[in-house]
């Protein structure tokens, strides 16, 4: 089996424990991973804190930090095929997606490389004639970054890139499920020449995670995952009063009006729920379709779902790979069964294919008569689409917002004024109009409600890793007047 190590203070090392990682396509062990103990996390945070204050990092100009990020971007691009193969092997994501996504991850590091020396302060036109006042933006300190197994190189880039551009140091904790690509990425960090301790990469269970987020030297916790884990993180971060940015997934509405380009909408819906086997935080898992086109649109989707090629994730012709874990497949099976009991009608899928691996087919449930079925209300993180019909624009908005989540949404219509109204009225951090699942390093993303708070990507993310310092400089040579009066 392949053997991976954690990366702490500029050195590769074994973890406190070792555990086997399973190949989701076969269900068999393929690699041995390091598991961090709380003591490992303590060492990593202390290394990050030393690095934050050391001249090798703190003394670098912002431009020099940008050059290191640019070097990292080049290395990621060069290593993309290997990293993609590792992610496919360890998580089951199909190779055609991991190859394209990881190559694009390099653009995130390039974006933040260019942004590093453009994080600016400001001069204030203060109302006191003998004062000069300006604002400095300074790095907050040590960042704890926690990423899930899905799209982990992308989800780490939107934390690591802005944090390093701002001048922070970071401890990244990969999920115990499929950590291989992030542990391998540590080799690129090392090769890029970042000073020891600036970036630390480990994996571990709940105890290690709790030790990380509650550590007194951690200033900011950036987490991607589920609301339940986020609640634990928020409670644990009360110990150090660390800032938090939380991206927690969602139950995103995908809204199709009668006047939409239905071919384009159907392809976008396939991308939104069946791509990545539905294991995406922005999965368009709730199809809200206008009643007059519902049957025809669902029929078109059914044909696409049934034609999708399920197979080995390493095969470039495969379109649907396995789920990452058996536990996740069992949860999906349970929710699909409960939804049918609640009145949802199975249109296609819903049956586990024969053979090895954690596969689950593209599945469509018509929930028009069961809008409260579990598949409509619960994030499933799998290739399961729930369909609900609507009659009016007002109905579409009401159904779209009938969720405690608020991450992403899609609107398909050729009516420009309607599109603007929908953008205004949908409660979500992202609204895609006549497209879906598009990303860019320039554009921030994040959500509301149970989908979390804070933004990743764009300038907003970099500013989130800074603190504003207000500087007052008195320019008068006269003695300070009455010291008992606030000036």
pLDDT per position as a tens digit, 73-112: 999 999 999 999 999 999 999 999 999 999 999 999 999 9
23 three-class SS:
strand
**Bridge partners (DSSP) listed for residue 286:** 253, 386
- Please state the pTM of the whole predicted model: 0.95
**pLDDT of the residue at 420:** 98
Instruction: Delimit the domains of the chain by residue range.
Output: 2-249+442-471, 253-427
**pLDDT of the residue at 375:** 97
Catalytic member of 247, 319, 379, 456? 247
Of 365, 438, 376, the closest CA to residue 408 belongs to 438
State the chain's mean pLDDT as an integer. Answer: 96
Is 247 a residue of the active site? Answer: yes
pLDDT band at residue 124 under the 50/70/90 scheme: very high
pLDDT band at residue 487 under the 50/70/90 scheme: confident
Looking up tokens 């990469």 gives 201
**pLDDT of the residue at 409:** 98
* pLDDT, mean of residues 453-467: 95
- Other Cβ atoms less than 10 A from the Cβ of 474: the count is 12
Instruction: List the Cα angle 366/372/374 in 5-degree steps.
Output: 80
- Other Cβ atoms less than 10 A from the Cβ of 438: the count is 11
pLDDT per position as a tens digit, 167-191: 999 999 999 999 999 999 999 999 9
DSSP states along 37-88: -HHHHHHHHHHHHHHHHSHHHHTS-HHHHHHHHHHHHHHHHHHHHHHHHHHH
CA dist., res. 348 & res. 109, Å (int)? 41
* pLDDT, mean of residues 356-382: 96
- Other Cβ atoms less than 10 A from the Cβ of 213: the count is 25
* pLDDT, mean of residues 289-304: 97
Q: Please, are residues 253 and 426 in contact by the beta-carbon 8 Å criterion?
A: yes
**pLDDT of the residue at 386:** 98
- Angstrom distances, CA of residue 455 to CA of 263, 442, 478: 32, 12, 47
Query: Does the domain formed by 2-249+442-471 have CATH 3.40.605.10?
Result: yes
* pLDDT, mean of residues 399-415: 97
**pLDDT of the residue at 239:** 87
**pLDDT of the residue at 249:** 86
CA dist., res. 197 & res. 9, Å (int)? 4
Tokens for 457?
Answer: 């990507």
Q: Please, are residues 254 and 436 in contact by the beta-carbon 8 Å criterion?
A: yes
* pLDDT, mean of residues 35-63: 98
- Angstrom distances, CA of residue 346 to CA of 32, 163, 244, 375: 40, 45, 40, 11
Residue 1, pLDDT > 90, answer no
Query: Does the domain formed by 253-427 have CATH 3.30.360.10?
Result: no
Instruction: List the Cα angle 113/114/118 in 5-degree steps.
Output: 115
Q: Please, are residues 150 and 169 in contact by the beta-carbon 8 Å criterion?
A: no
């Amino acid at each position: 089996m392949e053997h991976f190590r954690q990366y702490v203070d500029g050195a590769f090392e074994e973890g406190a424990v070792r555990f086997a990682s399973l190949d989701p396509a076969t269900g068999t062990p393929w690699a041995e991973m390091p598991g961090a103990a709380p003591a490992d996390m303590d060492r990593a945070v202390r290394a990050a804190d030393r690095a934050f204050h050391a001249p090798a990092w703190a003394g670098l100009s912002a431009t020099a930090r940008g050059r290191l990020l640019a070097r990292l971007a080049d290395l990621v691009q060069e290593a993309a095929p290997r990293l993609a193969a590792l992610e496919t092997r360890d998580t089951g994501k199909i190779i055609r997606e991991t190859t394209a996504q990881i190559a694009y991850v390099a653009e995130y590091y390039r974006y933040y490389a260019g942004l590093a020396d453009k994080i600016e302060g400001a001069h204030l036109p203060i109302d006191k004639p003998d004062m000069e006042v300006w604002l400095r933006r300074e790095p907050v300190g040590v960042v704890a970054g926690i990423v899930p197994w899905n799209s982990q190189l992308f989800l780490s880039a939107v934390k690591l890139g802005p944090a390093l551009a701002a001048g922070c140091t970071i401890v990244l904790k990969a999920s115990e499920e499929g950590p291989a690509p992030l542990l391998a990425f540590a080799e690129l960090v090392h090769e890029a020449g970042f000073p020891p301790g600036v970036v630390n990469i480990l994996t571990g269970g709940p105890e290690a995670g709790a030790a990380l987020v509650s550590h007194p030297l951690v200033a900011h916790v950036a987490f991607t995952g589920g609301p339940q884990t986020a609640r634990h993180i928020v409670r644990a971060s009360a110990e150090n009063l660390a800032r938090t940015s939380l991206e927690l997934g969602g139950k995103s509405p995908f809204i199709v009006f009668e006047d939409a380009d239905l071919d384009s909408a159907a392809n976008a819906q396939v991308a939104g729920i069946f791509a990545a086997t539905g294991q995406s935080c922005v999965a368009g898992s709730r199809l809200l379709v206008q009643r007059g086109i519902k049957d025809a649109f669902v029929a078109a989707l059914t044909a696409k779902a049934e034609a999708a090629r399920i197979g080995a994730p390493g095969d470039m012709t495969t379109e649907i790979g396995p789920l990452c874990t058996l536990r996740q497949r069992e949860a999906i099976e349970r929710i699909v069964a409960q939804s049918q009991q609640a009145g949802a009608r199975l249109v296609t899928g819903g049956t586990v294919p024969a053979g090895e691996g954690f596969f689950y087919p593209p599945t469509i449930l018509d929930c028009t008569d069961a809008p409260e079925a579990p598949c409509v209300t619960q994030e499933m993180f799998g290739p399961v689409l729930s369909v609900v019909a609507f009659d009016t624009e007002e109905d579409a908005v009401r159904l779209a917002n009938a969720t405690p989540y608020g991450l992403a949404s899609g609107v398909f219509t050729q009516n420009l004024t309607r599109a603007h109204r929908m953008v205004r009225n949908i409660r979500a951090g992202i609204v895609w109009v006549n497209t879906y699942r598009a990303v860019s390093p320039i554009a921030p993303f994040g959500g509301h409600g149970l989908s979390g708070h804070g933004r990743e990507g764009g300038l907003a993310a970099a500013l989130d890793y800074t603190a504003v310092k207000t500087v007052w400089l008195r320019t008068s040579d006269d003695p300070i007047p009455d010291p008992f009066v606030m000036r």
